[in-house]
Chains A and B, each alone.
Chain A
Amino acid sequence: MEELINKLKEQIITELNLEDIKPEDIKPDTPLFGDEGLGLDSIDALELIVLLEKNYGIKIEDPKDGKKIFYSIRTLAEYITENQSKI
């Protein structure tokens, strides 16, 4: 899980152009969206959906599920672990 969390941090920084952010700046449980977190927006949410499909082969059918799945790096990692085993 730790390895996946670290990999996700790198991928998110690259895919979402978070240039001034280093992996150690992102805590596994910090909210990704909203003012307290990384301040990601609705377009970033869509990019995360693309990232999931491109890098992990997991398709989210309903973007509204995204809120739970993308809450933090940890919830995202847990979702991937759960769903990758289904493939």
Chain B
Amino acid sequence: MRKVFVTGIGIISAVGNNVRETIASVQNSRSGIGNITLIDTIYKNLPFAEVKCNNSALFKKVGIEEAESFSRTALLSMVAAREALLYSKINDIAEWKTGLISSTTVGGMDKSELYYEDFLTNNSRNNYIDIHDCADHTEKIADYLGINEYLTTISTACSSSANSIMFAARLIRNGTLDRAIAGGSECLSKFHIDGFYSLQILDTEPCKPFDAFRNGLTLGEGAAYLVLESEEAVKTSGKTILCELSGWGNACEAYHQTASSPEGYGAVLAMQKALAVAGLQPSQISYINAHGTGTQNNDASEGNAIETVFGNNIPPVSSTKSFTGHTTSAAGAVEGVLCILAMNRGWLLPNLNFTHKMENTHFEPVRKLQTNIKFRHILSNSFGFGGNDSCLIFSKV
């Protein structure tokens, strides 16, 4: 079986505009959750995890004229994807068959919701119409980085970027590609802020995953990408390997459009599949980065699923959404990058804001950052509306 290795990471989120800033935030247990400043929403009293960088600054980072029509989703994605490529020291894209698999749900909605009236009444903003679609940002990254071998866009809500990474791994494994940049991007928008509010699942305080008094999620934004390479490509280049992507799994909860079943059966199946692909027993997992949104439903369901899979041998668990907020489509990749940083730096990532154990659960999450931890395998969950449950496993090499 062709192995798949991670050789590059790129990230922009509420905790930092790049890997270096992200490391500093994590080391200081500094959450990115705070006030929303860039969107004029009627819910500005609620906490959000905004990327601390307005669109003008993002344009500068990517070196593009502001007059061009780019969604914030595309700008964030270009920043992170470029960082991943640089991290991986790829100078010649065409040296190996290299693809791009990205994901989003919001896409260009941040602009469409601003200019909707103009679209209908005048021609002044027509250049923003075409950038609305999810695949637009993928093409923008491809043009920016010169990738043209293979492109696709996945849209499965909050499991999207985990699915992008999984799909990229399969394309490498079956020889369609030798390398891939995989991940996702999402920016905040009134459209989904208002929508999540109507579902009554936004906490009025910063989210507290797995806490008995949790009261909802905190919406965030960001983008993250991994550079995945085949064993052959890596051996030939002799470059540093960050870790192996050793397992992945996806399953359908088949319970409700947006809620998870009490037993979390879809999550159980996804984790079991990932373990099977990796050839691992649950007891070999060093740490679980949970989906852990902070909603009553997810955390209870995921808690039960973890206990079903791991029995009495539950490894340390935490949700990093109390750092980054819930970055929705980007979550799988954002949290994947955090897992890879944790693995390489020996960090046990904390589940901030936790104080009280949930009822009917036998574990409590990691409270404080711990260092000098040795990891073998890390498991990361991402569950999307529609019951789309995904799981990734990263292994130390």
Contacts and interface: CB of A to CB of B under 8 A. Distances in A.
A22 B257 CA distance: 26
B258 interface: yes
B58 interface: no
Interface string B234-269: 000000000000000000000011110000000000
Contact of A41 (B199, B200, B256): B256
A43 interface: yes
Interface residues of B, number: 7
A63 B198 CA distance: 11
Nearest to B297: A42
Nearest to A42: B259
B199 A46 contact: yes
B198 A50 contact: yes
A35 to B, nearest CB: 15
Contacts of A50: 198
Interface residues of A, number: 7
Interface in A10-53: 41-43, 46, 49-50
Contacts, number: 12
A35 B244 CA distance: 47
Nearest to A66: B200
Contact of A46 (B200, B256, B257): B200
A41 B256 CA distance: 9
Contacts of A42: 256, 259
B257 A43 contact: yes
Contacts of A63: 200
Nearest to B259: A42
A82 B156 CA distance: 44
8 contacts: A42-B259, A43-B199, A43-B257, A43-B258, A46-B198, A46-B199, A50-B198, A63-B200
Interface of B: 198-200, 256-259
Given A46-B198, A46-B199, A49-B200, 9 more contacts: A41-B256, A42-B256, A42-B259, A43-B199, A43-B257, A43-B258, A46-B200, A50-B198, A63-B200
Interface of A: 41-43, 46, 49-50, 63
**Lowest 9 CB-CB distances: which A-B pairs, in order?**
A63-B200, A46-B200, A42-B259, A46-B199, A46-B198, A41-B256, A43-B258, A43-B257, A50-B198
